Amino acid sequence: MTAYACERREALLAIEDVHAELGGRAVLRGVDAVIRNVVRPDVAGQGQVVGVLGPSGSGKTTLLRILAGLAAPARGRVLVEGAPVRAGCVGVVFQTCPLLWHRTVLGNLIAGQPRGAAERARDLLARFGLAARADAWPRELSGGERQRVAILQQLLCGHTYLVMDEPFSALDPVHKAKACELIVEVSRLGERSTIVVVTHDIPEAIKVCDTLWLLGRERADAPGGEPLPGSRIVETYDLIARELAWHAGIERTPRFAELVRELTDRFAGL
């Protein structure tokens, strides 16, 4: 396998010196990162998929809320295309995928949308394999189907930037694979399409992402020292340079297994 040719161009989303506290306790400390526009000469409309990995309690949910503009950092800022993030400019797909139980799938998608949205909603349902479920009720959907509907809701709101909270949680291997396929397809809706996947699922993150951010607490006297208060991005993994991005069946390669082991070992020390 070889790495695909690409360019990383202008910054689409930037995290600048973000600090966060919860109950007087430092949760995030000096988080800095940038997502740049990835352009591939061989694929029109290649978007970006960035995974935020970290052990439980590392502040992933707090960072998700700050990225989406749902919470303000104690210090620092998040910029989306150069402007401060605000609530509503980044779509969020929560782990529970909340839907209105008294509305059909189509009814959920067009709720609050302007007139004429039904046609676009049906087009998206067809594109993402849900055309036959348009008139189904949420209780009749599988977990994976509810997740797809939740993503389509955000797309209908015009969101180019999506943050997904633990999209692989509680899914069996078959539905995890389908979730990966969905994320890849959404990322290719346009060149500026950007998905941030917040998860602790190492293998699935490697399958779908072009970049990984490892979130965790550093230690005062590494290794074995006391953890410093607040998590930060302790490592960035460029999966394009590692020849892991955009390859079908990458999970069957030694290179994939090696990175899974590397990340698992890093988790143990965070």
Is residue 27 one of the residues assigned to a domain? yes
Residues whose CB falls within 8 Å of the CB of residue 1, separated by 6 or more in sequence, listed in order = 243, 247, 250, 253, 255
- Which structural domain, as residue segments, surrounds residue 241? 7-90+159-268
Is residue 124 one of the residues assigned to a domain? no
Rounded Cα distance between 12 and 204, Å, is: 24
Structural domain total, the chain = 1
What is the pLDDT at residue 265?
93
103 to each of 93, 100, 109, 150, 157, how far by Cα in Å?
19, 6, 9, 13, 18
- The CATH number of residue 12's host domain is 3.40.50.300
Is residue 131 one of the residues assigned to a domain? no
The model's pTM: 0.91
What is the pLDDT at residue 223?
63
Rounded Cα distance between 116 and 214, Å, is: 42
| Residue 236, beta-bridge partner list | 213
What is the pLDDT at residue 128?
87
What is the pLDDT at residue 143?
82
Mean pLDDT by 10 residues, the chain (270 residues): 82 98 94 96 92 93 96 97 94 86 94 88 91 95 87 88 90 85 91 94 96 91 77 96 92 96 90
What is the pLDDT at residue 202?
95
What is the pLDDT at residue 165?
93
